Amino acid sequence: MPEQNFIDYVKVFCKSGSGGAGSVHFYRDARTAKGGPDGGDGGRGGHIIIQGTTNVWTLLALRYNRHIRAGDGEGGGGNNRYGAMGEDVYVKVPLGTVAKNFDTGETLFEITEDKEEVILLAGGRGGQGNSHFKSSTNQTPKYAQPGEPSKEATFVLELKVLADVGLVGFPNAGKSTLLSVVSAAKPKIASYAFTTLIPNLGIVKHRDNTSYVMADIPGIIENAHEGKGLGHRFLRHIERNSTLLFLVPSDSEDIQKEYNILVNELKMFNPELLDKPRILGLSKADITDEELREMLKENLPPNVPYVFFSSITGFGLQELKDLIWDKINEEIV
Query: Hey, which bits of 24-142 come out as E strands?
Result: 48-53, 67-69, 89-94, 97-101, 107-111, 117-121
Q: Please give the order of strands across the beta sheet that includes 107-111.
A: 67-69, 9-15, 152-159, 97-101, 107-111
What the chain holds in terms of domains, given with CATH numbers, is 3-159 (2.70.210.12), 163-332 (3.40.50.300)
What is residue 249's predicted lDDT score, i.e. its pLDDT?
92
What is residue 89's predicted lDDT score, i.e. its pLDDT?
97
What is residue 222's predicted lDDT score, i.e. its pLDDT?
56
pLDDT tens-digit profile of 55-72?
A: 887 888 898 889 999 999
What is residue 198's predicted lDDT score, i.e. its pLDDT?
65
Helical segments of 288-333, H only: 290-297, 317-332
Angle between helices 175-182 and 317-332 (to 10 degrees): 90
What is the reported pTM? 0.69
Residue pair 241/161 in contact (Cβ under 8 Å)? The answer is: yes
CA 123: distance to chain centroid?
Answer: 24
Rg (CA), the chain: 29
Question: Rounded to 5 degrees, what angle do the CA atoms 80, 141, 145 make?
Answer: 65
Q: How far apart are the C-alpha atoms of 309 and 293, rounded to whole Å?
A: 11
Which segments of the chain have a pLDDT < 50?
1-3, 187-196, 224-231, 332-333
How many CA atoms are closer than 13 Å to the CA of 6, on its beta-carbon side?
Answer: 15
